[in-house]
Structures are given as C-alpha cells and as structure tokens.
C-alpha cells in the first residue's frame, strides 16, 4: 500500500515522528482536537485522520469524535492508544470507516493498520431494480442536466451490461441532454400522446438512442409547442414503462411545474434539487424543496446538491456552512466547479466521466451516488434536516 500524495491529519503531537516514518511520501499535517469539530470544504478533507488518544482528556476526545461523525462524509479515522474507554470507542465506531491501534506499536504497525482504511472501497452495488432518480435545478443553469448525465453514467458503471440505465430528458421543449451527449433525440412523445396506453417496451425501443457512457437516452427534438401537445398520461406511461425495462432511470426534470410534475416526483425514489452557491439560488432551492415537501408529504425527501463549488478566490461566495444555514437544511453533497471539463465534454459530446475522467466533478458525483445508494431517501427521510 502506498500513501503517496495522501493527506494525513495527525491529532496529537506524540504521533508525528512515527507517522513521518510510516507515511514517507504522504502530506502530513498536525492539528488540535478542535479541527475534528469544524467542517471541511469539499475536496479538502484529509484522506486519513490519526488520533493519539493519550494526548487528550477522554470526554473531550469522545465529543470531538462524535462531532466528526455528524459530517456528510467523515474521513477514515485511526485511533491509537491503550485502555481506551468504551464510550470513546463507541463514538469512533459510528464513523463509516475507523479502527483502533493498540499501543505500543511501530511505524510498520501504523502503516499496516492505516492501509485498509484509505484503500478504495468497492462501489456499493445497486441492488434495488428500477430506482428512479429525478434531478431538478433550483434556478436556470444550476447544472441539472450536467448532473443528470453524470449521475446516469455513474449508475451505469455500477450496473454494467446493456439496457440497465435510462436517462429521460423531460425538458420537452428545449432539452439539452442529447446535445450534451452528442446523441440523437429520437423520442416522439407528443405523437404518442394520442394513445398513451400504447406506449410499451417496443415503442420505448424506437424512442431510445444509445448514448456514450453506457446510458440509453430518451430525449425529444426541440419543439416549442411540446408542452401543449404532450399529455400527462403519455409522460407518466413513458416513465412507468422505462422503470419496467431498466434497472435505473434518471430524469432531467424541468424546473417549472407541469401538470405531470408532482406525479413524476411522487414516483421517484431520489429527488435531487441542484443549486449553486449564490444567495438567490440557495433561497430558490429552499423554497422549491419546501414546496415539494408541502405538496408531497409522503414523497421522497428532496435532497439539495450544491454545484460548482469553487475556492473562495472570486469574491464573497457563501461557505458550505453558510449555504446550509440559508437553506435551513443540510446539503446532500457538493460538486466542485470545473469549467474546463464541463465545457470540453459538452463540446466533444459525451459525459465528463468519459472525456475528463479525472475531473473532481466525476469523483464528487461518484461519492454522492454511492452515499445515496447506501442511504436511500425513502428510508432515511429525517437525516438531512438541520435541527
């Protein structure tokens, strides 16, 4: 196991020397207990936290570890020491990835215990077939289409094989998914609206186009009248059949409400509201999420994804914590800004995961998808509310 380029945070000065020997080509940083209680900016969390239990008073350490566990994605944590109190270990076990290393230990022991914690985990397997993920922008241009495409591709990687994931662009008048993917827009939904009950797997087949990234696409050609000529029955029947045929369906939903919007949302398993880090967008995300909760109390909990997170070099953008305060709720995830990757992929035609696989956007979407698969909205409605 190599630790090259890994960021390791050392809490407790007594560990620094041994860590220096164990992780020669990693970036080591030391900090006090208070660092565990602050949130990390997206992309800045350490890859591993090492804690020297003996350096701190047990209750204070226990509280700090409990605070660490409330973060969206707590880093893997290794606690070192002897005679560790049970309460402390219990709080440690609440972290998704943690372990204990009993003192005394050598640098080699430290490296051996750390290796499995930083090794990449196999992506969780999506085993519930026909999960429908709906993605909606809180404001225009927030990145809903981009994230719908990347989410569909991330799901396709977790569900290998043909005909597993379908991306449906319900921006019927001027959807952009086909253009972003460089794929044909073959869906003739307004024509099928005259006999919605005739929409079946064969007709779906005729509407579908294969898109790069292992995704099947259902998208219509530009048509300014499409919303007037497409019936709610046709939209809902299309979704129903797609969910029968595919293991996962991702919907790029229009922001403005249509006669079928609430039914589409009510039938979704995951509902992602995409916002950006500006005050108007956050307020719009807050209102949109509240409207959906109000109209669909038994529906999926809307989850807010903050897109185009940038370092604070371009003026006073809100921080994640300020954004969450403005929205009165937690964000389910954040996606780093990478204009080059997003523009290059759209210009070339295809997902960012294909043209710029190393972009942070790809990693952030993968992390979000894995988190949502591990904790589906319908069974954990309460854990995204800020108390």
Ligand X SMILES: Nc1ncnc2c1ncn2[C@@H]1O[C@H](COP(=O)(O)OP(=O)(O)OP(=O)(O)O)[C@@H](O)[C@H]1O
Q: Write out the residues near Mg ion by the rule CB under 5 A.
A: 144-145
**C-beta of 337: minimal distance to ligand X in Å?**
4
Site for ligand X in 335-374 (CB under 6 A): 335, 337-339, 342-343, 346, 361
Of 152 and 199, the one with the shorter C-beta distance to ligand X is 152
Q: What contacts 168, CB < 8 A, 6 or more positions away?
A: 218, 219, 238, 239, 242, 249, 250, 251, 252
Site for ligand X in 318-337 (CB under 6 A): 335, 337
Q: Could you tell me which residues are beta bridge partners of residue 78?
A: 50, 99
Interaction of residue 80 with ligand X, rule CB under 6 A: no
**Beta strand 209-211 with 215-218: parallel, antiparallel or unpaired?**
antiparallel
Rounded to whole angstroms, the Cα distance separating 237 from 230 reads 12
**C-beta of 1: minimal distance to ligand X in Å?**
31
- Asked if 166 contacts 183 with a C-beta cutoff of 8 angstroms, the reply is no
Of 237 and 356, the one with the shorter C-beta distance to ligand X is 356
DSSP classification of residue 121: P
Of 97 and 255, the one with the shorter C-beta distance to ligand X is 255
Structure tokens that stand for 311 in this block: 């370092």
The correct pick among 308, 329, 330, 356 for binding ligand X (CB under 6 A) is 308
Structure tokens that stand for 160 in this block: 């290998």
Of 145 and 337, the one with the shorter C-beta distance to Mg ion is 145
Q: Please identify, among the stretches 69-77, 124-132, 144-152, 283-291, the one whose residues bind ligand X according to the rule CB under 6 A.
A: 144-152
CA angle 47, 72, 279 (to 5 degrees): 115
**Beta strand 165-169 with 131-137: parallel, antiparallel or unpaired?**
unpaired
Binding mask 225-264 for ligand X (x = CB under 6 A): ----------------------------------------
The correct pick among 62, 134, 220, 307 for binding ligand X (CB under 6 A) is 307
Written as one string, the DSSP assignment of 291-342 is HHHHH-TTSPPEEEEEEEE--TTSS-PPPHHHHHHHHTB-EEEEEE--HHHH
- Residue 146 contacts which entry, Mg ion, ligand X, none (Cβ below 5-8 A, type-dependent): ligand X
**C-beta of 187: minimal distance to ligand X in Å?**
17
The correct pick among 12, 143, 214, 302 for binding ligand X (CB under 6 A) is 143
Interaction of residue 213 with ligand X, rule CB under 6 A: no
Interaction of residue 146 with ligand X, rule CB under 6 A: yes
- Residue 77 contacts which entry, ligand X, Mg ion, none (Cβ below 5-8 A, type-dependent): none
Longest CA–CA separation in the chain, Å: 76
Interaction of residue 144 with ligand X, rule CB under 6 A: yes
| 19: three-class secondary structure by DSSP | helix
**C-beta of 37: minimal distance to Mg ion in Å?**
38
Of 51 and 152, the one with the shorter C-beta distance to ligand X is 152
Structure tokens that stand for 370 in this block: 């894995």
Measured from each CB, the residue nearest to Mg ion is 145
Interaction of residue 18 with ligand X, rule CB under 6 A: no
From the CA atom positions of the chain, what is the Rg in Å?
Answer: 23
Interaction of residue 300 with ligand X, rule CB under 6 A: no
Burial (CB count within 10 angstroms: exposed 0-12, middle 13-18, buried 19+), residue 383? exposed
CA proximity to 148, closest of 46, 245, 60, 218: 218
**C-beta of 223: minimal distance to ligand X in Å?**
16
Written as one string, the DSSP assignment of 81-112 is ESS--HHHHHHHHTSSSEEEEESS--HHHHHH
Binding mask 108-137 for ligand X (x = CB under 6 A): -----------------------------x
**C-beta of 373: minimal distance to Mg ion in Å?**
24
**C-beta of 167: minimal distance to Mg ion in Å?**
12
Interface contacts to ligand X, rule CB under 6 A:
137, 140-146, 176, 307-308, 335, 337-339, 342-343, 346, 361
């Amino acid at each position: 196991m190599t630790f090259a380029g890994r960021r390791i945070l050392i809490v407790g000065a007594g560990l620094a020397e041994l860590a220096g020997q164990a992780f020669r080509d990693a970036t080591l940083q030391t900090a006090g207990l208070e660092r565990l209680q602050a949130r990390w900016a997206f992309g800045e969390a350490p890859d591993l936290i090492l804690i020297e239990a003996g350096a701190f008073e047990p209750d204070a350490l226990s509280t700090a570890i409990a605070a660490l566990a409330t973060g969206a994605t707590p880093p893997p944590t290794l606690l070192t020491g002897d005679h560790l109190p049970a309460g402390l270990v219990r709080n440690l076990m609440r972290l998704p990835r943690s372990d204990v290393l009993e003192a005394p230990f050598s640098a080699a022991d430290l490296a051996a215990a750390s290796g499995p914690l930083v090794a990449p985990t196999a992506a969780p397997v999506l085993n519930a077939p026909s999960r429908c993920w709906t993605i909606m922008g809180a404001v225009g241009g927030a990145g809903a289409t981009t994230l719908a495409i990347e989410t569909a591709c991330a799901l396709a990687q977790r569900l290998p094989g043909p005909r597993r994931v379908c991306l449906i662009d319900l921006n019927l008048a001027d959807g952009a998914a086909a253009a972003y993917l460089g794929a044909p827009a073959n869906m003739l939904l307004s024509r099928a609206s005259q006999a919605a009950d005739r929409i079946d797997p064969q007709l779906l087949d005729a509407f579908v186009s294969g898109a790069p990234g292992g995704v099947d696409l259902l998208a219509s050609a530009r048509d300014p009248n499409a919303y007037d000529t497409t019936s709610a029955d046709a939209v809902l029947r299309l979704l129903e059949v797609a969910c029968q045929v595919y293991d996962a369906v991702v919907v790029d939903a229009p922001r403005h409400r249509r006669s079928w919007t609430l039914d589409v949302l009510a039938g979704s398993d995951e509902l992602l509201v995409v916002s950006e880090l500006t005050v108007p967008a956050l307020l719009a995300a807050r209102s949109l999420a509240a409207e959906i909760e109000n109209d669909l109390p038994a529906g999926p909990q809307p989850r807010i994804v903050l897109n185009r997170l940038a370092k604070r070099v371009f003026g006073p953008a809100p921080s994640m914590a300020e954004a969450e305060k403005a929205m009165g709720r937690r964000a389910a995830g954040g996606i780093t800004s990478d204009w080059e990757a997003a523009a290059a992929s759209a210009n070339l035609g295809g997902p960012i995961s294909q043209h710029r696989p190393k972009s942070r956007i790809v990693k952030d979407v993968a992390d979000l998808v894995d988190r949502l698969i591990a904790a589906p909205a319908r069974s954990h409605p309460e854990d995204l509310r800020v108390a």
